[in-house]
Amino acid sequence: MIEEGSKRGKAMVEKRQLFMEMRAQNFDVIRLSTYRTACKLRFVQKRCNLHLVDVWNMIEAFRDSGLNTLDHNAEINVSRLETILSSIYYQLNKRLPTTHQINVEQSIGLLLNFMVATYDSEGHGKLTVFSMKSMLATMCGGKIVDKLRYIFSQISDSNGVMAFAKFDQFLREVLKLPTAVFEGPSFGYTEHSVRTCFPQQKILLNTFLDILMADPPPQCLVWLPLMHRLANVENVFHPVECSYCRSESMMGFRYRCQQCHGYQLCQSCFWRGHANGPHSNQHQMKEHSSWKSPAKKLSHAISKSLGCVPIGEPPHPMFPEQSEKPQDTMAHTVQPKPVANNMNNTMLMSSGAPTPTKSVLESPSRLDEEHRLIARYAARLAAEAGNSTVSSSTVSSSTQCPPTDLSFNFDANKQQRQLIAELENKNRSLREILQEIQRLRLEHEQASQPTPEKAQQNPTLLAELRLLRHRKDELERRMSALQESRRELMVQLEGLMRLLKDEEQKQAAQTGGSPHSSPSHGAGCSMPMPIRSTSAGSTPTHTPQDCLAGVGGDVLEAFAHGVPRNLRNDLLVAADSITNTMSSLVKELHSVDDAAEEEDNNMRNGGLRDRAEAE
């Protein structure tokens, strides 16, 4: 009794541990119940390591445990459930590398207590087979289409039609998962849930998949595809800045406002209802699960416009509308990709009797031989399609293919040939378009380059061009000469400035005054010149009148009288005059360049017009 009480206490601690860890994640701050429920169930899935168990491995575990032979309403006790979970996790550790092994005992304890709390709230110590299958098939890893196919095989009759009573039972069991994570008010079971999902009377497999994988899915199961999308975007990186938290990158989902231009939110800000600026939580947001660069978007748009990619891809492959037996074996762990509207009946058979598929798996050499024979026969049928019907004696007995399989292979081969022909036509059209673009680019480059032949066709334009170029060279030489003259003039101005200082000092000495008392000796004489000459041997040693030989304008006027004027103003006027002269020369030179360029353009345009007229 003491030992049993200790086990029960340990189970209660482990049960509380999972929910305490979930509450520590603070999922309740998420504003939308759909995201809140999906995040909580994703946390339980990862914490119990169910995301590492594929749905096909789960089906194999059901077969090995003998659950496929039991009725859905049969009950199993907790000890047998623990044995089944132990088998699942120990098989998982065998598949995982040694560096990624999981803690089996801890995973078994967490999952067992979660399942008991979810499906045995009254404490009977028993669960139904259908409850366990529904829960594990929903919460394990794998593709959602494979899970839904397995679920449909459990709730359909012998004619491949869904039984509404069984689907109602499935909804009762699967909607206990949101209730277990405290989201029952949003996604609890109601009596009208079945009719809100399927208003039709006859539901086949493809209809079942279309409705449950639609966008949006039925309201009561809207969290199920979102949980799978969460698993797919956990490591997706978006190099975009969040408009609210200003994070320079995003991980997971990205949300773009459909009304505010360029307004994007990371999943954390969107889930918590953050908004700023003109954006409001009432605006419609679009969810993005991947990042496409502008170049990739452009190439995808071009490919779509050329018909290289389908505009709307179906949410799931199309499966044959015929009855499928319950998928309770692992004969096809790796599912082949089905051809649209055609697929072999590869749904897994019950393990009550051995299946041909399993015997084929046991002899891979025989499987390869049969595949080669089937491919050879399909090729022969394709070659003789236009002739009379092939006699049945041409078929080798070793193929062991019934006529229905041969007709299916022929139809599939014909569809593949048609698809290949369409792709080749689109590829040929695309190559022609690219060649035309390359040809037009080369013609444009050739037309933009002037040639001697074009110049010979326009001798007048060629003569004017030569004249403008000669004028340009002449102005450049003149500008160089003026620059040299300006340099020499500045040197002479400095010499005149020094001579003026010497003359003022002499006059002050003769009159007995101070050299600092001269009105013309002020801040203007001590101000540095904008351009200083570095040439040596150019300082004059004679009188100012001799230095003024050849200098005219304001400089001559400044020193021609007996009493000099304000030296600073006179020098600034002379410098402004030189600067204006240089600016006028530069403008004239630029105008000549523009005229020459215009003549070049006219010559090229004239050559193009002549060529167009000639063509």
Q: Quote the longest CA-to-CA distance of the chain.
A: 143
Angle, vertex CA 212, rays to CA 209 and CA 218, nearest 5: 155
CA nearest to 91, candidates 60, 113, 66, 130: 60
Confidence of residue 399 (pLDDT cuts 50, 70, 90): very low
Q: How many CA atoms lie within 13 A of 321 on its CB side?
A: 7
Amino acid letter at 331? A
Convert the pLDDT of each residue in 113-141 to its tens digit.
Answer: 999 999 988 888 899 999 999 999 999 99
Mean pLDDT of the 511-540 span:
43
Question: Which of 95-99, 187-191, 482-486 is predicted with the least confidence, judged by mean pLDDT?
Answer: 482-486
pLDDT top residue among 550 and 414: 414
pLDDT score of 424 more than 50: yes
Confidence of residue 172 (pLDDT cuts 50, 70, 90): very high
Sign of CA dihedral 225, 231, 237, 241: positive
pLDDT score of 38 more than 80: yes
pLDDT score of 596 more than 60: yes
Instruction: Please answer whether residues 40 and 27 qualify as being in contact, where contact means their C-beta atoms are separated by less than 8 angstroms.
Output: yes
Amino acid letter at 274? H
Give the model's pLDDT for residue 433: 85
Give the model's pLDDT for residue 450: 57
Give the model's pLDDT for residue 105: 94
Task: Please count the other Cβ atoms lying within 10 Å of the Cβ belonging to residue 237.
Answer: 13
Give the model's pLDDT for residue 315: 64
Confidence of residue 348 (pLDDT cuts 50, 70, 90): very low
Instruction: Please answer whether residues 175 and 224 qualify as being in contact, where contact means their C-beta atoms are separated by less than 8 angstroms.
Output: no
Sign of CA dihedral 336, 340, 346, 347: positive
Residues 496 and 487: their CA atoms lie apart, in Å, by: 14
Residues 67 and 228: their CA atoms lie apart, in Å, by: 26
Mean pLDDT of the 169-182 span:
94
Convert the pLDDT of each residue in 232-274 to its tens digit.
Answer: 998 999 999 999 999 888 899 999 999 999 899 999 999 999 9
Listed ranges 315-319, 356-360, 429-433; the one with the highest mean pLDDT: 429-433
Residues 351 and 68: their CA atoms lie apart, in Å, by: 7
Could you give the C-alpha distances from 272 to 187, 194, 289, in angstroms and in order? Answer: 20, 32, 18
Residue with tokens 């409850």: 131
Count Cβ atoms within 10 A of the Cβ of residue 310 and give its class: 0-12 exposed, 13-18 middle, 19 or more buried. exposed
Give the model's pLDDT for residue 437: 85
Phi, psi of 144 (to 5 degrees): -70, -30
Mean pLDDT of the 302-318 span:
60
CA nearest to 136, candidates 164, 152, 112, 160: 112
Give the model's pLDDT for residue 509: 82
pLDDT score of 79 more than 90: yes
Give the model's pLDDT for residue 356: 42
Confidence of residue 330 (pLDDT cuts 50, 70, 90): very low
pTM summary value: 0.52
Task: Encode 508-537: b = buried (16+ Cβ within 10 Å), e = exposed.
Answer: beeeeeeeeebeebeeebeeeeeeeeeeee
Give the model's pLDDT for residue 333: 41
Chain-centroid distance, C-alpha 544: 80
